[in-house]
């Protein structure tokens, strides 16, 4: 999803720059923190990345079901890969659209990843919004036939 | 430290000389003699793991063969005064992340230090040219030399990157001093500010020996200090290039008198003889000679003065119109440049030797920079060695995201 026009080299370099940015930010925090908190600060960029994406995965999704001429948004369970896909897609669209004009992708991505790691930030908010919609439409759940 | 050093020799055999332009890691590793048994190695590694890749010897003057490959610490205060503008950007980032500046002692620098210690100041200044592949550590070697000279109280004339003066210049003014030449006020004033930070104490001691007239109303009298010329250049940006020219001329003239020793350090010296990307208003290209800054610098690099040394670095990275794999002096300087620099001592800066590589990895591990689990294993290290081919720059970039 990061790749555009098959430019894997660029996508790869953006990812490595993001990981480096995440690592440097965490090191800054580490050096600034007192020794008790130093054990809690995670500095491995890979664990941060995986944990952040896990925090962004929705548990339940909505599907449009046609019944009686109208489309109803019905809460539906999502498969594992669909969840991972949605987490990554949300993360990337968020970084592409909602950034300041001159901010670079690695910088913005690293910021979003760190926020998602702490369960804050716009992507996690979007996941919560989806959950709330699904909860609101709970009554329509029996429209699902699978 | 010496006893520990000797003990570490066996362990330090892995110290690689990486003078890599690793952002932020200049490591000075001391190599302990390999005569020590492996048992001592184990003991040592538990007692003082930091000592394996670092040494306590922080004075570049005392760095010897046995310190080869180990990292030494540069006090941050020194870094601010001596290198206001000289460090490569990745190294500066590394310095910021680790809160310390560590440089590795490597053979090319040791060689240069040896020559500098034995220079005869009555003879004309000798030119040393550091050359090598991209990313091997030429700029950081230069920084090591500059630190040494700063400690020895030389006057340092450091141009961080000559390529910045021949490209991407916003305003080019026609020079007031000589109608054919062009001035670059921005670059000149920035350089003057940094020059002032580095050499504060000399500026009041050196007196200029000639009268210079800036314009109808302002002039500088004979006998006033160099500091005033620098101030004038910084405040009046229009005359900054001329101020630089005056500074260079006076320093060259007075270094032979013996009051101070002059070190001319230019990074990317091949910019002085190449082509520029700057154009006049009528879109015709400008040759480097027509830029006043370059013209004065060329005069500085000629060895017709004594009382100091000239250390130069070639660089393909910022160079204009040169192929990517050009790294030898003949290729990068061109015929004109090579002839101008002709009697010079070439010093090659190579990739990390296995010891230096180990030392570099050790330093990273001490600062817990390598967070990936597999990076700590033997196979991980072999992979890193293979991927970077011992190239300091590549290794640094690889380890950045691991």
Regarding predicted confidence, which is higher, B220 or B186? B186
Our CA-based measurement puts residue A44 at a distance from the nearest CA of chain B, in whole angstroms, of 5
Q: In this predicted structure, what is the pLDDT of residue B16?
A: 43
CA–CA dist A46, B181 (Å, integer): 55
Which residues of chain B have a CB within 8 Å of the CB of A11? none
For A90-116, the pLDDT digits (tens) are 999 999 988 888 889 999 999 999 999
For residue B216, name the pLDDT band (cuts at 50, 70, 90): low
Q: In this predicted structure, what is the pLDDT of residue B334?
A: 85
Q: Residue B315, exposed/middle/buried by CB under 10 A (0-12, 13-18, 19+)?
A: buried
**Domain chopping of chain B, boundaries:** 65-348, 354-400
Residue B271 scores a pLDDT above 70: yes
Q: In this predicted structure, what is the pLDDT of residue A117?
A: 93
Residue with tokens 């965490």: A26
* Phi, psi at B398, each rounded to 5°: -65, -45
**Interchain proximity B93–A27, CB inside 8 Å:** no
Helix and strand counts by DSSP (H, E) for chain A = 6, 2
For residue B75, name the pLDDT band (cuts at 50, 70, 90): confident
The residue-averaged pLDDT of B338-349 equals: 88
Residue B32 scores a pLDDT above 70: no
Helix B378-388 to helix B354-366 angle (10° resolution) is 120
For residue A81, name the pLDDT band (cuts at 50, 70, 90): very high
Regarding predicted confidence, which is higher, A84 or B254? A84
The residue-averaged pLDDT of B262-288 equals: 87
Q: In this predicted structure, what is the pLDDT of residue B38?
A: 41
Please give the full DSSP string across chain A, using - where no structure is assigned.
---STT-HHHHHHHHHHHHHHHHHHHHHHHHHS-HHHHTT----HHHHHHHHHHHH--SEEEEEEEETTEEEEEEEE--HHHHHHHHHHHHHHHHHHSS-TT--HHHHHHHHHHHHHTT-SHHHHHHHHHHHHHHHTGGGGGG---
A44-48, B206-210, B264-268 — which is least confidently predicted?
B206-210
**Interchain proximity B372–A46, CB inside 8 Å:** yes
Q: In this predicted structure, what is the pLDDT of residue B44?
A: 43
Reference B162, options B7, B301, B13, B36; nearest CA is: B301
A43-47, B8-12, B231-235, B392-396 — which is least confidently predicted?
B8-12
Q: Which residues of B touch A (CB under 8 A)?
A: 93, 97-99, 368, 371-372, 400-401
Q: What length is written for chain B? A: 402
Q: In this predicted structure, what is the pLDDT of residue B51?
A: 52
Our CA-based measurement puts residue B243 at a distance from the nearest CA of chain A, in whole angstroms, of 36
Residue B321 scores a pLDDT above 50: yes
Residue B392 scores a pLDDT above 60: yes
Regarding predicted confidence, which is higher, B220 or A123? A123
Residues above pLDDT 90, as percent of chain B: 3
Please name the residue of chain B whose CA is at the shortest distance from the CA of residue A48. Answer: B371
The residue-averaged pLDDT of B193-218 equals: 81
Please name the residue of chain A whose CA is at the shortest distance from the CA of residue B398. Answer: A16
CA–CA dist B132, B349 (Å, integer): 5
Our CA-based measurement puts residue B175 at a distance from the nearest CA of chain A, in whole angstroms, of 36
ipTM: 0.85
**Cα→Cα distances B138→B134, B150, B163, B368, Å:** 9, 18, 15, 26
Q: In this predicted structure, what is the pLDDT of residue B33?
A: 41
Which residues of chain B have a CB within 8 Å of the CB of A17? 401
Given CA atoms B151, B152, B157, B159 in this order, what sign does their dihedral have?
negative
Residue B235 scores a pLDDT above 80: yes
For residue B26, name the pLDDT band (cuts at 50, 70, 90): very low
The residue-averaged pLDDT of A53-81 equals: 92
**Interchain proximity B97–A27, CB inside 8 Å:** yes
Residue B75 is classified by DSSP as P
Residue B35 scores a pLDDT above 80: no
Domain A8-143, CATH among 1.10.455.10, 3.40.50.620, 1.10.150.120, 3.30.1330.10: 1.10.455.10
The residue-averaged pLDDT of B278-300 equals: 87
Relative to beta strand B182-183, strand B173-174 is antiparallel
**Interchain proximity B400–A20, CB inside 8 Å:** yes
**Cα→Cα distances B97→A25, A31, A40, A42, Å:** 8, 9, 18, 15
For A2-27, the pLDDT digits (tens) are 899 999 999 999 999 999 999 999 99
Our CA-based measurement puts residue A23 at a distance from the nearest CA of chain B, in whole angstroms, of 7
**Domain chopping of chain A, boundaries:** 8-143
């Amino acid at each position: 999803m990061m790749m555009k026009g098959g430019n894997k080299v660029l996508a790869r370099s953006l990812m490595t720059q993001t990981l480096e940015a995440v690592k440097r930010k965490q090191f800054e925090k580490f050096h600034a923190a007192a020794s008790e908190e130093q054990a809690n600060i995670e500095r491995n960029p890979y664990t941060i990345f995986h944990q952040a994406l896990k925090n962004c995965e929705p548990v339940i999704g909505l599907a449009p079901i046609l019944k009686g001429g109208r489309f109803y948004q019905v809460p539906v369970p999502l498969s594992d890969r669909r969840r991972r896909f949605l987490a990554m897609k949300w993360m990337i669209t968020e970084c592409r659209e909602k950034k300041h004009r001159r901010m670079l992708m690695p910088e913005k991505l690293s910021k979003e990843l760190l926020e998602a790691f702490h369960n804050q930030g716009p992507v996690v908010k979007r996941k919560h919004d989806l959950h709330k919609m699904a909860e609101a439409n709970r009554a329509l759940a029996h429209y699902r036939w699978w | 430290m010496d006893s520990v050093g000797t003990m570490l020799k066996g362990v330090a055999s892995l110290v690689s000389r990486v003078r890599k332009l690793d952002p932020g890691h200049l490591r000075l590793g001391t190599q302990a003699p390999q005569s020590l048994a492996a048992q001592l190695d184990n003991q040592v590694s538990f007692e003082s793991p930091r000592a394996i890749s670092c040494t306590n010897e922080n004075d570049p003057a005392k760095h010897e063969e046995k310190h080869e490959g180990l990292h030494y610490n540069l006090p941050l205060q020194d870094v601010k005064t001596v290198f206001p503008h000289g460090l490569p950007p990745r190294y500066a980032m590394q310095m910021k992340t680790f809160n310390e500046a560590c440089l590795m002692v490597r053979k090319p620098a040791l060689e240069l230090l040896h020559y500098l210690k034995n220079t005869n100041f009555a003879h004309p200044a000798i030119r040393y040219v550091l050359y090598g592949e991209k990313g091997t550590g030429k700029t950081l070697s230069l920084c090591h030399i500059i630190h040494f000279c700063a400690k020895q109280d030389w006057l340092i004339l450091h141009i961080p990157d000559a390529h910045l003066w021949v490209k991407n210049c916003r305003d080019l003014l026609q020079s007031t001093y000589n109608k054919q030449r062009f001035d670059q006020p921005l670059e000149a004033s920035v350089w003057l500010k940094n020059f002032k930070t580095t050499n504060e104490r000399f500026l009041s001691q050196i007196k200029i020996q000639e009268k210079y007239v800036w314009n109808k109303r302002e002039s500088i009298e004979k006998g006033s200090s160099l500091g005033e010329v620098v101030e004038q250049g910084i405040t009046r940006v229009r005359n900054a290039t001329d101020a630089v020219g005056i500074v260079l001329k006076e320093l060259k003239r007075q270094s032979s008198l013996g009051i101070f020793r002059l070190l001319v350090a230019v990074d990317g010296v091949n910019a002085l003889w190449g082509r520029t990307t700057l154009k006049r208003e009528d879109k015709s290209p400008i040759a480097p000679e027509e830029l006043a800054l370059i013209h004065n610098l060329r005069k500085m690099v000629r060895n017709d003065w004594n009382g100091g040394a000239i250390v130069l670095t070639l660089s393909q990275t910022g160079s204009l119109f040169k192929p990517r794999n050009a790294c030898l002096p003949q290729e990068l300087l061109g015929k004109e440049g090579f002839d101008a620099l002709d009697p010079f001592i070439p010093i090659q800066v190579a990739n990390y030797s296995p010891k230096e590589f180990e030392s570099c990895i050790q330093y990273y591990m001490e600062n817990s920079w390598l967070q990936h689990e597999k990076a700590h294993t033997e196979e991980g290290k072999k992979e890193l060695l293979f991927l970077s081919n011992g190239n300091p720059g590549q290794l640094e970039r690889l380890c950045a995201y691991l």
